[in-house]
Amino acid sequence: MASLLSNQALPWGQRVSAKRQACYYALPASWLLDQKLLESLETPWERCRNNMVELNAFRESGILSERELRITEQYNVAELLGLISSGEITALEATLAFSKRAAIAQQLTNCLTETYFPQAQQRAKQLDLLRENGETVGPLHGLPISLKDTFQIKGSEATIGMVAFLDQASTTNSCLVDILNDLGAVLYCKTNVPQTLMTADSDNNVFGRTLNPWNTALTAGGSSGGEGALIAMRGAAIGVGTDVAGSIRIPALCCGTYGFRPTTGRIPYGKQRGCANPGFRPIPPCAGPLSNDIDSLPIFMKAVLSANPRRYDATATDVPWREIQGSSARKLRLGLVPEDPRIPLHPPVQAALKEAVHLLEKQGHEIVKLSPEECRVDQACQVSWSLLGLDDMPNRRVLEAGETAVPSRLRFQQAISKMGMEHVADIHGLDPLQKYAALTVKRASIADDWNQLWVSKRLDAVVAPAAQNSAVEHDEFNVPAYTVFLNLLDYPACVIPFGKVAGIEVNFKVGSGQSTPQYNPKALEGAPLSIQVFTSSMRDEECLDVAKVVDECLRQGDSHKARF
């Protein structure tokens, strides 16, 4: 206790330095990259174009064996589970392979926070002994899974990049952590987030900035940015993030992975570390998976829901996973969210969405073009940020700890202040409770309009841009309108990677009153692109089913490798 008190008495800069040093020395010395390889990269990394995915450091370093490279590169979740179940791969082999790869990914992108490599190996050994005796713990037996830093693991820290939470070991597990343990998973690392969890750039004063694996001069997204980078580097077969405004889907689109935002409550969220007022959640956060393939997402969902989450978390929605008839057996009627004039799409995003529609129509699916007035994306964005802005506790936690605000938070606040907020202008001058009530009425109006769209247009699902942009330069992401409006509606949504930015010079300017980052084609060349598929609330099963159909359409031939 005396040591803890003395640490808390130190200036925050010294405490941060001690934390970073402890995290570095938690990496086994034999898993550290050769300094010559690191020195071969352009510096400073966050301002230079380093492609860590194609660097081939995993192979050239010699840290992973050929077998470990195959384990991390060639199999999806279903295949890994099958190989572990048959004994062709042990849980220990899988855990070591992904732990080594995560350690390398950390050195190249700064994606990790806490690591549990020795504990994970011991857990894997126990699981292997059980399997040898004909026993399995659950449907995820032996599968290594990574977690966002918000998840608490008893005995370790969940600082979420906040000085206020340094030196505070968790006294309990998050509900999902207990579930994953009971399902047989191996938890081996946690991943980086933004300060206050409320920007799209995973940068904080405790752990520093996570870099985009495809181009270190670009953001990895947020707030689950560490997860996005780790998955893209194949340092995890599947990981878990959280989403209150796009925090799963933004890292997925930035890093070129799949990401699924379920309906709130389907995946238990209880006992997570947060910095917002715990008694005020105008837009409830949710937890969901990120992976490198579409098929791994429903495996995770089905496994967690099979555990009867309500037994662990009173806030979980007590609805089991439903087996539904596959959408691949019929032609779909898909709505299309267009560009909102107030939130213009970067040219590559426009081109990728147009090509996706073309490929879907080519396969016989019907596309129903919606109008900006019907979709109300801009108005939903105004309502969302007005609701989230009612809570000043995150900002107070930063100020009270004495730490400085990271640049992305300041940039984000500037972007919101420049938004046209005429749809919520009538709440000014109201007290906080009256504001909340008025915004709730506006949210209900938007939800009602969308409900009418589903019915009148007879839609199976909707295709939309995942954001107005791809990954952009650090701290420049702007307001994530095309993700947050689905949080306001509490709709399940899946981000599907599709193509990359070609970097072609085109005439694109951000006009007055428009909310989107500047388009710098040469800087963004090679950045992943994505589209988004969503359904109405509690239709998570249908969302993933339709997303699989859409993904198969987009991946025909080499279409998914196209540059726009």
Catalytic residues: 148, 223, 247
Cα pseudo-dihedral 287, 295, 347, 371, rounded to 10: -70
Q: Are 202 and 221 within 8 A, CB to CB?
A: yes
C-alpha–C-alpha distance, residues 209 and 258, integer Å: 22
Residue 462 labeled ligand binder: no
Using DSSP, state whether 55 is helix, strand or coil: coil
C-alpha–C-alpha distance, residues 530 and 518, integer Å: 19
C-alpha–C-alpha distance, residues 175 and 152, integer Å: 9
Evaluate the CA torsion angle 538, 542, 546, 548 in order and state its sign. positive
Using DSSP, state whether 427 is helix, strand or coil: helix
Q: What token pair was written down for 556?
A: 């025909």
Q: What share of the chain is helix, strand, coil (3-state, %, to 5)?
A: 45, 15, 45
Q: Are 334 and 463 within 8 A, CB to CB?
A: yes
C-alpha–C-alpha distance, residues 157 and 113, integer Å: 9
β-bridge mates for residue 169, sequence order? 157
Residue 244 labeled ligand binder: yes
Let me know how many helices (H) and strands (E) the chain has, helices first: 21, 13
In what side-by-side order are the strands of the sheet with 186-191? 112-115, 186-191, 144-148, 238-243, 286-291, 258-261, 493-500, 528-534, 461-465, 333-336, 366-369
Residue type (1 letter), 297: L
Closest CA to 89 of 71, 72, 75, 62: 71
Within 8 A by CB and 6+ apart from 407, the residues are: 203, 474, 475
Residue 177 labeled ligand binder: no
Residue 170 labeled ligand binder: no
Q: Are 481 and 468 within 8 A, CB to CB?
A: yes
Q: Are 140 and 180 within 8 A, CB to CB?
A: yes
For tokens 């997570």, what's the residue? 272
Residue 86 labeled ligand binder: no
Closest CA to 9 of 166, 221, 187, 218: 166
Residue 417 labeled ligand binder: no
Q: From residue 447, how far is each of 144, 173, 175, 453 by CA, in Å?
A: 38, 35, 30, 10
C-alpha–C-alpha distance, residues 399 and 164, integer Å: 9
Strands 258-261 and 493-500: what pairing?
antiparallel
Cβ burial, residue 421 (10 Å; 0-12/13-18/19+): middle
A 10 A CB-CB count for 401 gives 15
* Annotated binding-site positions for substrate: 197, 223, 244-247
* Annotated binding-site positions: 197, 223, 244-247
